[in-house]
């Protein structure tokens, strides 16, 4: 087992999880990983000890007062119940209660008056007063638009540091597209399904399949095995769904299942030649986002990666403006966060790497161009903010605030000393010892 795999295991498991034999063996030999483990143990211990300011007891007492006032649907508990102390209510509470009853009476009176003025229509008289139900619904979060979910994956791709992580991102991207296509197949609009099927094929072949050859030999067999299972289960899911759909709609989804099955069977048979994927000539944000993600994953040159990320940032800025104009604040906020991550990991970190590789300073001009591109994306947001109506302006303002660290990082990128890979590179390495 190599350091990367051990690090990943340590990062995702709790300290009390028993160490697998492979991890234990590695830790016995690798001081750097042992130190990492110790650091993570300390972090977990410290987090549990983070102080919490004391809370005044009357806060909880107020909760019971509020519940006393506001739960006509629920039958009162026995007098012995804890916290339910029957006591004379304070004067102001009584006044509030009287005022509430008065308001209700006035409201009922007004309603009766209005009803009596209506033209006589045969209406069944209610047999009893309507039951007052004070159930406060939990706000139900709508499913985020696909473009927001793909932007999230794109920003994670920019932060991914190895082939395994990149493969995971493309797997999630394919699943997001698949879920969206199935939702559209069930409740429309169905005319978008073909485009989603095409994008899915692109992600599966050019994103997932292309990454399999980059996997480290040590973990390859396990990861490919998981991938095959996941692809087969995706295909089965689509096929199962197809049995409930109209035949014409099911036909549209069939290539999606076929793509999953083809790659799964190629992986089982150890086939490495990828089928040719027809390029998508589609300028819609969704297609652009997928294409940029593939470019980002295929590009080895950090400066080119920064350039692709800057291009995606411009695309996200445009998309944010569209969402803010339509009043979708949740998507605006989500995209703002993804934009910030993209700026930090996709632009800033890559510019740093490019600068540290550029001994001669030949590529300084290219780096400036990337920064200009980033600046342009910000200007687009600022310009629209200046002219936006108040309801859109709030969202755009928030995006600019949320993404500020990202912009700052992107502008600083490549101007100082290169940072190198995002974590653990030198900080925990004992001198004179190599990372495995």
Partner 1 sequence: MDDADEPLLVRQAQAGDRASFAVLVERYWERIRRWLYGYTGNAHLAEDLTQETFVRAWSAVRSLHGLTGFRPWLFRIARHLAIDARKGPRGKATRELPVTLASDAPEPVTVLLETEALRKLREACDRLPSLNRQAYLLWAQEGLPYSEIAAILDSTEEMARWRVCKARQALVKDLKDYLGQS
Return residues touching partner 1 (CB under 8 A).
8, 11-12, 14, 35-36, 38-40, 42-44, 46-56, 59-60, 62-63, 66-67, 70-71, 73-78, 80-84, 134-139, 141, 156, 159, 168, 172, 329, 337, 340-341, 422-424, 427-428
Closer residue to partner 1, CB minimum distance, 12 or 116: 12
- Other beta carbons within 10 angstroms of residue 411's beta carbon come to 17
Closer residue to partner 1, CB minimum distance, 73 or 97: 73
Rounded Cα–Cα distance for residues 229 and 27 (Å): 31
Closer residue to partner 1, CB minimum distance, 174 or 252: 174
Closer residue to partner 1, CB minimum distance, 79 or 276: 79
Rounded Cα–Cα distance for residues 346 and 432 (Å): 31
| Three-class DSSP category at 263 | helix
Rounded Cα–Cα distance for residues 34 and 30 (Å): 6
Burial class (CB in 10 A: 0-12, 13-18, 19+), 141: exposed
DSSP 213: T
- Tell the smallest beta-carbon distance from residue 51 to partner 1 (Å): 5
Closer residue to partner 1, CB minimum distance, 83 or 271: 83
Closer residue to partner 1, CB minimum distance, 87 or 134: 134
Helix axes 302-325, 146-159, angle to 10 degrees: 160
- Tell the smallest beta-carbon distance from residue 424 to partner 1 (Å): 8
Tokens of 379: 């200007």
Using CA atoms, how far residue 46 sits from 34, 38, 41, 401, 416, in Å, is 18, 12, 9, 30, 32
- Tell the smallest beta-carbon distance from residue 276 to partner 1 (Å): 30
- Tell the smallest beta-carbon distance from residue 252 to partner 1 (Å): 25
Rounded Cα–Cα distance for residues 140 and 285 (Å): 27
Burial class (CB in 10 A: 0-12, 13-18, 19+), 280: middle
Instruction: Give 425-431's long-range contacts (Cβ < 8 A, gap of 24+).
Output: 428/32, 428/35, 428/36, 428/39, 429/32, 430/31, 430/32, 430/35
- Tell the smallest beta-carbon distance from residue 76 to partner 1 (Å): 7
- Tell the smallest beta-carbon distance from residue 124 to partner 1 (Å): 28
- Tell the smallest beta-carbon distance from residue 200 to partner 1 (Å): 17
Closer residue to partner 1, CB minimum distance, 54 or 270: 54
Closer residue to partner 1, CB minimum distance, 46 or 248: 46
- Tell the smallest beta-carbon distance from residue 59 to partner 1 (Å): 5
Rounded Cα–Cα distance for residues 292 and 284 (Å): 12
Which of 231, 219, 226 shows the shortest CA–CA distance to 163? 219
């Amino acid at each position: 087992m190599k350091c990367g795999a051990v690090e990943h295991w340590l990062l995702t498991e709790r300290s009390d999880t028993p160490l697998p034999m492979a991890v234990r063996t590695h830790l016995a030999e690798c001081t750097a990983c042992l130190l990492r483990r110790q650091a993570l143990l300390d972090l977990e211990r410290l987090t549990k000890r983070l102080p919490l300011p004391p809370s005044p007891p009357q806060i909880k007492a107020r909760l019971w007062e509020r519940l006393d006032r506001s739960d006509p649907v629920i039958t009162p508990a026995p007098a012995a119940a804890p916290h339910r102390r029957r006591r004379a209510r304070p004067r102001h509470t009584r006044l509030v209660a009287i005022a509430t009853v008065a308001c209700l009476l006035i409201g009922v009176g007004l309603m009766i008056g209005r009803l009596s003025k209506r033209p006589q229509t045969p209406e069944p008289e209610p047999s009893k007063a309507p039951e007052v139900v004070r159930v406060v619904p939990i706000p139900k979060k709508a499913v985020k638009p696909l473009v927001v979910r793909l932007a999230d994956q794109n920003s994670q791709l920019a932060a991914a540091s190895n082939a395994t992580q990149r493969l995971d991102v493309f797997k999630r991207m394919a699943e997001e597209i698949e879920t969206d296509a199935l939702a559209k197949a069930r409740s429309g609009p169905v005319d978008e399904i073909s485009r989603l099927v095409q994008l899915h094929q692109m992600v599966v072949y050019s994103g997932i399949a292309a990454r399999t050859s980059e996997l480290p030999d040590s973990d390859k067999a396990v990861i490919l095995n998981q991938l095959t299972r996941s692809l087969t289960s995706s295909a089965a899911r689509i096929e199962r769904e197809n049995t409930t759909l109209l035949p014409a709609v099911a036909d549209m989804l069939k290539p999606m299942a076929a793509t999953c099955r083809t790659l799964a069977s190629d992986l089982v048979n150890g086939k490495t030649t990828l089928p040719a994927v027809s390029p998508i000539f589609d300028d819609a944000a969704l297609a652009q986002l997928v294409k940029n993600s593939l470019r980002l994953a295929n590009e080895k040159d950090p400066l080119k990666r920064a350039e692709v990320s800057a291009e995606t940032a411009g695309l996200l800025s445009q998309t944010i403006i569209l969402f803010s104009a339509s009043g979708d604040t949740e998507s605006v906020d989500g995209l703002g966060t993804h934009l910030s991550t993209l700026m930090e990991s996709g632009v800033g970190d890559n510019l740093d790497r490019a600068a540290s590789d550029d001994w001669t300073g030949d590529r300084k001009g290219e780096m400036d161009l990337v920064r200009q591109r980033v600046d342009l994306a910000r200007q687009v947001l600022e310009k629209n903010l200046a002219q936006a109506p108040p309801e859109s302006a709030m969202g755009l303002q928030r995006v600019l605030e949320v993404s500020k660290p990202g912009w700052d990082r992107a502008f600083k990128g490549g101007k100082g000393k290169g940072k190198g890979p995002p974590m653990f590179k030198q900080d925990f390495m004992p001198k004179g010892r190599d990372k495995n």
